[in-house]
């Protein structure tokens, strides 16, 4: 599932007047087209649903590459929130409660099939309801030097959340409130600590907080097993949400700089 429903109402609009962020053009193609290609090229992925403004997406040229079989990529109309978009995407996929659905955002133009495959492989051995991607600052800086991201320093390192996850549909109903809060605080580490509670906040202040503490807190709050999954592929966290990111993507992808697999 690709979540691609965001309106282009932020700073990116100064560089591209597209109505929706996923339709911002990079090297002649809508940004979401790169995400579709990467996911469609990965082993272990079946049908793909893009959740967004369906009429605009279906009529936009270049979204689905010509080498992708007809009907493999479908579109579902966006809702009013990320959770509603998840619900609509799951219904469109016909996913069962215990199936595992790979979810990515539509603003990851550097995503590659290998990055998707590697994340799926790392999640495969985990009996988790939600697997959420985590990338270190070291990994990001090595792949995209000079690109600023939002980080949190904990005992496991200086980390940022990625933009892909694997989720069981049954888990979504059990953590709606928490997901709403986490989405609102994703770019604000101090707010994320308020979601995690005082014990985690104290550990953070003393430099002792670990990913496993967050996983345990999540399980206490929801009854679900969540896993933070470290990935060596910085492409998973390189979403385009600032003008500098878009300019960089256009300079690299416009010169054939995507690494493919």
Q: What percent of the chain has pLDDT over 90?
A: 69
Average per-residue pLDDT in the chain? 90
188: tokens are 């604000």
* Predicted pLDDT at 219: 92
**Burial of 98: CB neighbours in 10 Å, binned 0-12, 13-18, 19+:** exposed
Stretch 70-83: mean pLDDT = 91
Stretch 162-169: mean pLDDT = 95
Q: What is the CATH number of domain 2-251?
A: 3.90.550.10
Q: Work out the pLDDT band at 181, boundaries 50, 70, 90.
A: low
Reply yes or no on whether the pLDDT at 225 is more than 60. Answer: yes
Would you kindly state where each structural domain of the chain is located, as residue ranges? 2-251
Stretch 134-157: mean pLDDT = 94
pLDDT greater at residue 200 or residue 129 = 129
Residues making up the chain, counted from first to last: 261
**Considering just the CA atoms, what is the radius of gyration of the chain in Å?**
18
Reply yes or no on whether the pLDDT at 261 is more than 50. Answer: no
Residue the block writes with tokens 């991607």: 133
Stretch 179-203: mean pLDDT = 70
Ramachandran area for residue 223 (φ above 0: left; ψ -120 to 50: alpha; else beta)? left
Q: Work out the pLDDT band at 62, boundaries 50, 70, 90.
A: confident
Terminal CA-to-CA distance of the chain, rounded, Å?
20
159: tokens are 């980390």
Q: What percent of the chain has pLDDT over 70?
A: 91
């Amino acid at each position: 599932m690709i979540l691609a429903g965001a309106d282009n109402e932020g700073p990116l609009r100064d560089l591209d007047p597209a109505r929706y962020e996923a339709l911002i053009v990079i090297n002649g193609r809508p940004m979401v087209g790169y995400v579709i290609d990467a996911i469609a090229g990965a082993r272990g992925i079946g049908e793909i649903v893009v959740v967004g403004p369906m009429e605009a997406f279906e009529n936009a040229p270049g979204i689905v590459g010509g080498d992708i079989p007809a009907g493999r990529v479908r579109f579902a109309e966006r809702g009013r929130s990320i959770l509603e978009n998840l619900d609509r995407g799951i219904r469109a996929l016909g996913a069962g409660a215990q199936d595992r659905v790979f979810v990515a955002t539509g603003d990851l133009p550097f995503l590659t099939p290998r990055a998707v495959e590697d994340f799926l492989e790392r999640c495969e051995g985990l009996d988790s309801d939600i697997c959420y991607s985590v990338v270190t600052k070291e990994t990001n800086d090595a792949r995209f030097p000079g690109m600023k991201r939002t980080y949190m320093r904990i005992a496991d390192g200086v980390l940022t959340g990625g933009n892909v996850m694997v989720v069981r549909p049954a888990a979504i109903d059990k953590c709606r409130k928490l997901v709403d809060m986490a989405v609102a605080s994703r770019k604000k580490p101090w707010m994320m600590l308020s979601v995690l509670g005082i014990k985690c906040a104290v550990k953070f202040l003393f430099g002792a907080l670990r990913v496993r503490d967050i996983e345990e807190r999540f399980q206490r709050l929801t009854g679900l097993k969540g896993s933070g999954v470290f990935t060596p592929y910085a492409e998973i966290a390189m979403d385009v949400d600032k003008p500098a990111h878009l300019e960089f993507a256009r300079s690299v992808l416009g010169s054939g700089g995507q690494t493919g697999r």
